[in-house]
Amino acid sequence: MVDNAVLQNILTFGPVFLLIAARALAMIEVAPLLSSDAIPQLVKIALAGLAAFAVLPTAEVFMAANSPAGMVTLPGGSSGDLRYEPFSLRFILLLIGEGIIGIIIGFYMTVIFATFSTAGQFFSLQMGFGASETFDPLSQIENPLMGQYLNIVSMLIFVTMGGFYTLFLGGFWRSVQTLNIISLIEGREPVVKMLASGLPRLFHDAMIISLPILGTLFLTSLTTGLISKAAPQINILSEGFPISISVAFILIYASLPFITETIKNLIEGGFRDIETLYTQVGRQITGVVQ
């Protein structure tokens, strides 16, 4: 049975709870793996509500110090009573702003994960798997076979390294403690720089992951082309595909430790970039829970 004090706290700060839940739901709808259509929408809403309930007592960017119940600090520094705020246009704009913050968090992590699918696409054509595009339920796009393979590997690494724990603790909870939409707008320059640097980094990191395999397959194609000139009687078209596929699989097996370590470093780097953004744009956290 829910304690009366807890229930009263939810009812008193209901508008604040809705603001936090909107941020959580927006992040869940965009974040990798959680945004999959395989997860029912009701589960996503329930998870957003649970996350908002868990972080409500520490939402210092909304709560006014030494204020009566229901009094909160509105974005911009003014104090107000949000018990009546849901009936105003300002509250609707605040909900939209909270959704934007959640979308930024989830979208940046999605860009990081798009790196791995892009790396697989770079050498799928060279392997002979360029025509093997099928729907990938994880990335929600048409993805070549090797792109799906690297995407699955990245998802497994994300889960095993506690990615969901870090996403909700270091991504969502820290954002609730430090950031609101006004501070995001006022400090929009670091936000724009972070999002704008995501696309060049996507191709740069994808090329780093795929370059050993891509370069070796290029040398394999060059070698088979020289062989076809030296011995025209060999049907290089029928012999080249098995050679390219075999060489690629051997390289993937040999470079798998390097690939997994790179994927782990990229995911951790994405979380560090988000936390750095909170440091540059948001308020300082007064109490840090380990």
pLDDT digit string, tens, across residues 107-156: 888 888 888 888 877 777 777 666 556 655 555 666 677 777 888 888 88
Give the total number of structural domains in the chain.
1
Establish if 289 belongs to a structural domain: no
Residue 172 within a domain: yes
Start-end of H helices in 140-187? 145-160, 163-166, 174-178, 181-186
List the structure tokens of 269.
Answer: 């780097």
Contact between residue 120 and residue 151 where contact means Cβ atoms under 8 Å apart: yes
CB distance 239 to 123 below 8 Å: no
In a domain, 69, yes or no: yes
Q: Which domain holds residue 200?
A: 4-281
Residue 50: inside a domain = yes
Q: Is 57 a domain residue?
A: yes
Does residue 68 carry a pLDDT above 70?
no
Which range among 85-89, 133-137, 210-214 shows the weakest confidence by mean pLDDT? 133-137
Retrieve residue 206's tokens. Answer: 């994808």
Q: What is the CA radius of gyration of the chain?
A: 24
Per the domain annotation, does 287 fall within a domain?
Answer: no
Inside any domain, residue 286: no
11-25, 101-115, 123-137, 160-174, range with the lowest pLDDT: 123-137
Instruction: Check the CA dihedral 93-94-100-106 and report its sign.
Output: negative
Chain centre to alpha carbon of residue 104:
9
Highest mean pLDDT among 51-65, 72-86, 100-114, 218-232 belongs to 100-114
Q: Please, how many CA atoms are within 13 Å of residue 176, restricted to the half-sphere of its CB? A: 27
What is the reported pTM? Answer: 0.75
Cβ neighbours for 22, distance < 8 A, ≥ 6 positions apart: 48, 95, 98, 99, 102
Do 275 and 170 meet the contact criterion of CB atoms below 8 Å apart?
yes
The reply to whether 183 falls in a domain is yes
